[in-house]
Amino acid sequence: MEKNHISWDILLRKVRRTLSPAEEAMFQEWLTRDERHKEYYERIRRVWSADETTCELDTDISVMIAGFDEHVRKERDSRRKKIVRYVYRFVACLFILLAVGGGILFLNKGEKQPDRLANVNKEWVPGGNKAIILLADGKKVDVEMLADTMLYKVDGIEVQKDAGVIKYSGLQKSEVTYNTIMIPKGGEYQVELSDGTMVWLNSDTELKIPTVFAGDERRVYLSGEAYFAVTKDERKPFIVETDLGNVKVYGTEFNVKRYRDDGQLKATLVEGVIGFSSDRIAELKLKPGYRLSLAEGSETPEIREVKVYNEIAWRDKRFSFENETLEEIARELERWYNVKIVFTDPALKELVFSGTLSRYGKIETMLRLFEEGVEVKFTIESDTIKVIRK
């Protein structure tokens, strides 16, 4: 073994205080050999000693950490600027991946946190069950304003506030009327449609629906992001209409994401079969595990196999990123925490990260995580979080 290298297993057992006498001697010798070794170990200890960590060691993570060690060893004699640019990005991805299975707070016990993040969790808390129902007559029902114990019922609508579900009973009327479920930034809600279809609505989303499905189809209108578990009815196809095209199904589960600031539509199939079409695109069929992406102005959708969990993690109250840019992640944080994030250096938008964290953690956890490994820091000015280079 090279003198500057030490196995991840020894570092982990050191944190857990389970080293043998021989391993302890090996660790101490390695620690005193280079000042950077102490800093490296302290970073690992802060992760695994954090009060809020719940994750356990994963084989793949262990292999990746070993890869990081190997990279540092091989590149140590190269130009420092090149090392810093590559390794910082690698470390950032590593630390995020360590959070799989639990929200890790990068907080050393007893350590005072930087003032620039001190007020983040007071002003920008995670989202929760929030919705406004725009009724057919133009009246608005703000679900947050309903009494906690109140079961709101009107025109075939039942709101179960504690459960975070809006139910439509399918009350038949002489004419079809429409409601719009509006989810603000920092909100989410579930809707049970009159046919039994369940819809999960993400932040900053609007879903226009008929109070009862009449005719030979079931059509809804979406802006934002929603997960659909459609009740099977071969006689009445279910159609999700967006401004870029329609997703058509007969009974299946899938996710549709169409935020205008993303500049594209994404439809991911979990099970069953869906078809996508528009005025300029003939119907294309998707298989489970595949995602269709269509950029604004394009007539050629991209269909490729994806890790479905990354696409639908929000429904399970998680953030899950894989090779996503900091700009893309920032948009997700803006919607969920109802914040504004601006970049003072456009180049920082292109930093790439992977990992999984709880959506119900404090935003400062995410900000510390990014600061830990790459050349960025976050400052608060009024109602804005600025991303700047260290």
**Which CATH number characterizes residue 269's domain?**
2.60.120.1440
Same domain membership, residue 147 and residue 73? no
Measured between alpha carbons, how far is 254 from 311 in angstroms, rounded to an integer? 10
Same domain membership, residue 335 and residue 276? no
Structural domain boundaries, residue 20 = 8-97
Between residues 80 and 227, the one the model is more confident about: 227
219 within some domain? yes
Same domain membership, residue 268 and residue 346? no
Pick from 244, 279, 312: which residue ends a domain?
A: 312
106 within some domain? no
334 within some domain? yes
Asked whether the beta carbons of 338 and 186 are under 8 A apart, the reply is yes
Same domain membership, residue 132 and residue 71? no
pLDDT for res 173: 65
Asked whether the beta carbons of 222 and 265 are under 8 A apart, the reply is no
Alpha helices in the chain (DSSP H): 8-15, 21-33, 35-49, 59-75, 80-97, 120-123, 308-312, 326-337, 363-373
What average pLDDT does range 42-64 have in this prediction?
Answer: 47
> How many domains does one find in the chain?
3
CB atoms within 10 A of CB 154: 11
299 within some domain? yes
Per DSSP, what are the bridge partners of residue 238? 218, 249
Three-state DSSP class for 134?
strand
The counts of H helices and E strands in the chain are 9, 24
Same domain membership, residue 151 and residue 92? no
Same domain membership, residue 326 and residue 292? no
Pick from 279, 295, 312: which residue ends a domain?
A: 312
CA 87 to chain centre: 24
Pick from 277, 293, 312: which residue ends a domain?
A: 312
pLDDT for res 250: 80
The CATH number of the domain where 354 resides is what?
A: 3.55.50.30
| pLDDT over threshold 50, residue 243 | yes
What average pLDDT does range 202-228 have in this prediction?
Answer: 95
Same domain membership, residue 253 and residue 202? yes
Same domain membership, residue 90 and residue 24? yes
259 within some domain? yes
What average pLDDT does range 122-131 have in this prediction?
Answer: 79
Same domain membership, residue 222 and residue 279? yes
Same domain membership, residue 136 and residue 40? no
Between residues 49 and 320, the one the model is more confident about: 320
Question: pLDDT tens-digit profile of 68-125?
Answer: 444 444 544 444 444 444 444 444 444 444 333 333 333 333 334 444 454 444 457 8
∠ CA 266-184-326 to the nearest 5 degrees? 50
Between residues 69 and 317, the one the model is more confident about: 317
Measured between alpha carbons, how far is 112 from 115 in angstroms, rounded to an integer? 9
User: Residue 270 corresponds to which amino acid?
Assistant: V
Same domain membership, residue 171 and residue 301? yes
Looking at residue 16, the DSSP 8-state letter turns out to be T
Same domain membership, residue 167 and residue 66? no
pLDDT band of residue 341 (cuts 50, 70, 90) is very high
Q: What percent of the chain has pLDDT over 70?
A: 74
User: Residue 73 corresponds to which amino acid?
Assistant: R
32 within some domain? yes
| DSSP-assigned letters across all residues of 337-371 | HT-EEEESSGGGGG-EEEEEEETTS-HHHHHHHHH
145 within some domain? yes
| pLDDT over threshold 50, residue 228 | yes
